[in-house]
Each structure stands twice: as C-alpha cells, then as structure tokens.
Amino acid sequence: MARDPVPSLPRTDAADGAPGAAPTGAAPPADPTGVPAASDPAGVGASDPAGVPAFSGRARSAPDSVSVADFGRAAVLRYTLTRRSDRLRRLLAERGTALLHAHFGVEGVYAAPVARALGVPLVTTLHGFDVTVTKSRLLASRKPSWVNYVAWRGELFDTGASFVCVSEHIRRKALDWGYPADRLVVLPTGVDVDLIPPADPVETPRILHIARLVEKKGTADLLRAFAVVRRAVPGAELVIVGDGPLREPLDGLARELDVSAAVRFLGARTHTETLDWLRRSRLLCQPSVTAASGDQEGLPTVLLEAAATGRPVVGTTHGGIAEAVTDGENGFLVAERDVAALADRLTVLLRDPQLCQRFGEAGRQTVVERYNLRRQTEKLESLYRSLR
C-alpha cells in the first residue's frame, strides 16, 4: 500500500451527482440517503461539503489531506469538466501515493487520469446507482460528473486494477454495464460487531425505517402498509430517520392515510442516534423498490446494522437485500411494491416478540459470520497488497 495512508476518492451523493470528498479512516460514510451509514471496508468518511473529488489522509482534519476545493473555484470547475488537475497530481506524487481507492464509478472516472499519471493501481467500489441507473438517464441529467461517467467509462474499465462490488447483485449489474468480469470482486460492506452489540428486547411495537427519502427506498409503500398495520396493532409506531426531496409529499401521505399521529419523521440523525433508535425499535423495515431511473440498492448497510443489533428486518426481494436477509430465518422478504404482503409481515412480527427475538439472534449470527468489519477490512487490505 501507500507509504502514507492510502488516498481515497469517496462516494458520490446519488441525490445530486456531484463528486464528493472524504478522508480514509474517518467517520463512516454518509449514505446518499442523508443518514450516516455503518463502517465500510475502506473506512471512508462523509462527503466534503464542497462537493468535489478529494484525496485525503486518515483523518478529516489531517494536515496532509488534499482537496481540489482548496484550489479555488476556477480549478474546481476545470476539474469537474475535464477531470484534470496538474496540481492535484503533483501533490499526490509528493506524498508518495501508491494506490487510489474511489467510491462509486463516477469517482472512478475522475480518479483514472490521476492513477495513470502517477502509475499507481486504482480500486473502485461500486455501490448501486452507478451500475443500475440507465446511461440515458445519467446523460439526460446534464450533470457534468454523470455525463463524464458515461462518456469516459471506457477509460475507467481500461485503467482500473480492481472493481469492488458491495453485493453479488451489483456484480451482475456491473457486468451489464460493461465492467471487466475478470477484475470484479464481491466484497460487501462490513459492520463493527464489537461497536454494535445485540440490544435488549423492547416492549413498544415500533417499526424503524432509515433511509434517504427518495423513490427507491419505498417509504410510500411503507406508509400505506403501516396504515393497515395500525388497524391490526393499534399501538404500533413508525419512526423514519432520514431526509430527502420526498419528505413533504410523504408527510402529506401520512396525513392522508390518517396515521400521522403515529409516524415520526426525525430527519437526518448522527450514526450514534441512529443506532440508538435501532435499539429502541422492534424491527427495521427496508421496502426498497427499483426507481423509474433504474436506480437500485447494492446492499443497504443499515440492514447489517439492524441485524448486528439483533433486530429482524422486513425487506423486499430487491437488489442485494436477499443476500443478507433470508426469508423466514432472520427476517421476512416480500415482492417490491406489494403493500398487502408488507403489512402482513410487519403485523406478524409486531404481534410475536418471540419470533422477533429468534430472527434477531439469527441475523446477528449472519453478520458476525459474513459481514464482520474486521474480516472485511482484512480482505480489502489483502486486495491492496495483491495489486502492488
């Protein structure tokens, strides 16, 4: 690996498509949902508010961090449009950079020219929207970073030493997008099972939903299902952590369904606060759907956090969800947009605390065995070493 900490090109916020910035080894990444996500194998932190690619050291405040945002507005514009920055390349060379790791294919396209100029391997992690949103939709967005991603993806395919897929579903989608099969590696996000211990059972029949409020999260379907659940379990509550462009319409839908008194929209919360709500809830619901743009989930980290906490998950057969949730063993799965089935499965769990406990214990075991952050990090480091 690098003589100094490995610089990382971080995740793109799928909501706005601007290349983001993050330090390696900092706080867990901010989900494009606006909710802090759990640790990922690369330990990438939250996006730089400047909204441009950056290459950073191990701490957000590290004195050796490098960001194009520090070079001035003209440099940011030039880099966003052309993907070139001689100053960035020079500063990274001076730091003895030996490997670059980009998060999302968009950042990979921006990292490719730098990696080629430095003569170092480039690893790119594919998370979801970058291989599920259609190329035509990305081009129609007219966002420079998304247009560049489509236009210059061939350079990324040629330059990239390895492409990490967060789920088998994403690997299949990456193949459809044209990514080279021989350099695709499935390496899911890890969860710190020591930091997140199993929680005690709770009496309140509370459903927790953690998501950016966008179409693919299926929040509208959850609200409709919850209206049915309330008739079967009058004391049921729904807590929604996260924010997004659909907040106002969803709030209106809750009023229309006459469940607003039992639904709390908390907005974005810190990772610590989000974990606390997991401990205070009976189960997590993740009813994800394929958006009109084609956008799909890779493997929502919040599912793994819920399982680590010992909470069962009710989700959909969408994206990589079924790779972590086994129907009838550590949670329930229903078809996308099947509101009746979703309501039924939620009702079953709210009425049966013992089943919740059994599913929760099985889910915890799944995470310990397959998604342990320490093991996932070791696998990533092994990949780094293999590319030297």
Q: What pLDDT does 58 receive?
A: 28
Q: Which of 308, 60, 70, 324 is nearest to 186 (CA)?
A: 324
Contacts of residue 61, Cβ cutoff 8 Å, sequence gap at least 6: none
Mean predicted lDDT score pLDDT of the chain: 86
Q: What pLDDT does 64 receive?
A: 64
Contacts of residue 182, Cβ cutoff 8 Å, sequence gap at least 6: none
124-128: average pLDDT: 96
Residue 335: phi, psi to the nearest 5?
A: -70, 155
- Each residue of 290-326: pLDDT tens digit? 999 999 999 999 999 999 999 999 999 999 999 999 9
Q: pLDDT grade, residue 139 (50/70/90)?
A: very high
- Each residue of 59-91: pLDDT tens digit? 334 556 788 888 899 999 999 999 999 999 999
Q: Angle formed by the axes of helices 339-351 and 353-370, to 10°?
A: 100
pLDDT at residue 19 is higher than 50: no
Helix boundaries (H) for 13-102: 73-82, 86-94
pLDDT at residue 54 is higher than 50: no
First to last CA, the chain: 7
Amino acid at 73: R
Q: What pLDDT does 329 receive?
A: 97
Q: pLDDT grade, residue 386 (50/70/90)?
A: very high
Q: Looking at the DSSP assignment, which residues form a beta bridge with residue 237?
A: 206
Residue position matching structure tokens 């607003």: 260
Q: What pLDDT does 197 receive?
A: 95
pLDDT at residue 7 is higher than 50: no
Q: What pLDDT does 173 receive?
A: 97
- Each residue of 170-205: pLDDT tens digit? 999 999 999 999 999 999 999 999 999 999 999 999
93 vs 91: CA distance, rounded Å:
5
The number of beta carbons lying within 10 Å of the beta carbon of residue 272 is: 8
- Each residue of 275-288: pLDDT tens digit? 999 999 999 999 99
Q: How far is residue 370 CA from its own chain's centroid?
A: 18
Q: What pLDDT does 14 receive?
A: 32
